[in-house]
Amino acid sequence: MIEVRNLQKHFGKLEILKGIDLEVQKGEVVVVIGPSGSGKSTFLRCLNLLEEPTGGDISFEGQSITAKKHDINITREKMGMVFQQFNLFPHKTVLQNITLAPVKVKKIQTSEAEKIAMELLRTVGLEDKKDAYPSQLSGGQKQRIAIARALAMQPHVMLFDEPTSALDPEMVGEVLEVMKKLAEDGMTMIIVTHEMGFAREVGDRILFMDGGVIVEQGTPAEVFGNPQNIRTQDFLSKVL
């Protein structure tokens, strides 16, 4: 579904990504772990071109999205993204946050979009908040709405950029719960996270990144149970 070949990203002289190769299958849950500054967020943001790669190639469903003539907006409709800082639209209600893109981008009827939105709100357990503004919600609620907003576009893959890192500890669980449900429903997901317990439980594959490369990858049992690389061992010994 997603194919990444020799992906590179420089900011001026600074090399953030030094050639990443990855293939993600439909329905797969890939969890990216690694120390801060290892390039994992940049890597994720390259997948929908929020960061412009400086080298390499990314294909999505058989189409190169890094090709000059490709219209990335079409691809972004099929790639949902959830951010560390939620980024809900503060001037819109919860319902409007969710229906805006389906109505404006996909041109579906407002009533239809609201029906989809209400279903999603039920899924994330926040139907009663449909008329609230983001400022009236807790962090965990905001992030669940952000997930619903991304899902409203009916994406084929969901990208999560440290979705629980900005949350108070007691709210992490509710967000992870929603993500777990999503994974069980067969959603293709790529998740950057520091939640090792979650990674182990939900991930089909774990990528350990450090210094702009994928140092090691494998099933959770392999990476967590028997890490091969010294850097992986070192990192895991610090966080586990």
Partner 1 sequence: MNIFNMAYEYRNFFLSGLQYTLLLAVLGVFFGFVLGIAIALLRMSKWWLVRFIATAWVEFLRGTPMLVQLFLIHYGLATFGIEFTAMESGAITLSINSSAYLAEIFRAGIQGVDRGQVEAARSLGMRQGMTMRFIVLPQALKSVLPAIGNEFITIIKESSIVSFIGVMDLMFQSRSVSTITYDGFTPLVIIAFMYFVMTFTLSKLLGRLERRLNTDDRG
Which residues of this protein are in contact with partner 1, per CB under 8 A? 48, 50, 73-74, 76-77, 79-81, 83, 85, 87-91, 100-101, 104-106, 133-135, 146, 149-150, 153
Name the residue nearer to partner 1 (CB basis): 76 or 205: 76
Q: Is 103 helix (H, G, I), strand (E, B) or coil?
A: helix
CA–CA–CA angle 147, 174, 169 (5° rounding): 115
CB of 74 to partner 1, least distance (A): 7
Name the residue nearer to partner 1 (CB basis): 106 or 122: 106
Residue 69 burial class via C-beta count within 10 angstroms: exposed 0-12, middle 13-18, buried 19 and up: exposed
Name the residue nearer to partner 1 (CB basis): 21 or 112: 112
CB of 173 to partner 1, least distance (A): 24
CB of 50 to partner 1, least distance (A): 6
Q: Which residue has the tokens 């990444």?
A: 4
The tokens for 24 are 């993600």
Name the residue nearer to partner 1 (CB basis): 18 or 92: 92
Contacts of 66 (CB under 8 A, 6+ apart): 49, 53, 56, 57, 58
CB of 28 to partner 1, least distance (A): 20
Q: Which residue has the tokens 């490369």?
A: 213
